Amino acid sequence: MKHITLTDQDGEKISGRIPEGWHEVLLSSFLNYHQQLKDKPEGFAWVVLASTTTDIPTEIIHSDVSLAWLILRQMPWVSELPKPEPLTSFKHQGKTYEHVGNLDKMNAGQFEALLDYLDTAKDDPIQAAPNLLAVLYKPEGQEQTKATVAAAAEAFQSLPVSIAWPGVAFFLTSSASFAQRIQAYSEAKAAVITLTEKIEKAMQAPSPTRSSRIAAWLGRQYMKSVRGLLTKS
C-alpha cells in the first residue's frame, strides 16, 4: 500500500493509503465492491471501487466524488484482472493450501462442497467465490470434508485477489470435463440444471465495469457449458 495526499474542491487535504496491485486487495474487499454495486446506477462503479479497495473513509469519498476519480488515476492496474493461471499451492494464515487437481475422482466431502457452492452461487455467483476456492484448494496433507471446506471458505475471504481470481477464472474457463463428471451423479443432475439456469438468468443484467463484465462473461461461459453437457444425456 502506498500513501497519497489529495486536495478536495474546498482545498482540504485528504491522506490515505491505496493498493499498488491486486496482491494488496483482499477478496472480501472485491466481494464488497460487487455487493455495493447492486441497485447503483451505471457510472457509479468507480466511486464504489475507490471506497471499497482503499483505506480512505467512504464518507470522505462520498462527500466529494471527484476524489474517487483522482484515486483511481493512481490505480491503473484495476482495469485488468489477474490472468486465469491458478497457483498449484500457496500459503495463507500460516497454512499451505494445494490445488486438488482436475477432480477426476471426487470424494463425498468434495461433492457436497461443490453442491453447496452451486446452491450459494444461484443468488450471487461472485459472492460465492470463496466457496468455489475452498473446493479447488485444500490444506496440505488433509482430506477434504465439509468441515475443512467450510473453514477454508471462511479463511479465503482474506485471500489477495491476485491468488483468488486466477483460481476462480481458470475453473470457469476450463471446466467442460468437470461438467461431464457432475453428469455422472444422476441424483444431482436435475438440481444442477436448475441452478445453472438461475445463474445464467441472473448474469444477464448489464455490468457497469470492466471487472464485473469479465466476471459475468466468464460465469456465463461456464454455466452454458455445464448446462449444455448435462442436457445432452
DSSP secondary structure letter of residue 26: B
pLDDT tens digit sequence for 44-71: 888 888 899 999 988 888 888 888 888 8
Rounded to two decimals, the pTM is: 0.68
Burial class (CB in 10 A: 0-12, 13-18, 19+), 94: exposed
In a shared domain, residues 56 and 121: no
In a shared domain, residues 74 and 186: no
Q: Angle of helix 146-155 relative to helix 129-136, nearest 10 degrees?
A: 130
Domain finish residue from 79, 111, 135:
79
Domain finish residue from 11, 44, 79:
79
In a shared domain, residues 144 and 218: yes
Asked if residue 1 has pLDDT above 80, the reply is yes
Q: Is residue 67 in a domain?
A: yes
Q: What is d(CA 37, CA 15) in angstroms, rounded to the nearest whole number?
A: 25
Q: Is residue 115 in a domain?
A: yes
Q: Contact at 8 Å (CB) between 108 and 188?
A: no
Q: What is the pLDDT of residue 104?
A: 60
CA distances from 152 to 96, 137, 218, 219 (A): 11, 8, 23, 22
In a shared domain, residues 98 and 180: yes
Q: What is the pLDDT of residue 137?
A: 92
Q: What is the pLDDT of residue 85?
A: 83
Q: How many domains does the chain have?
A: 2
In a shared domain, residues 102 and 168: yes
Collapsing DSSP to helix, strand or coil, 3 comes out as strand
In a shared domain, residues 126 and 203: yes
Q: Is residue 203 in a domain?
A: yes
Domain membership of residue 19 as a residue range: 2-79
Q: Is residue 137 in a domain?
A: yes
Q: Most distant CA pair in the chain: distance in Å? A: 66
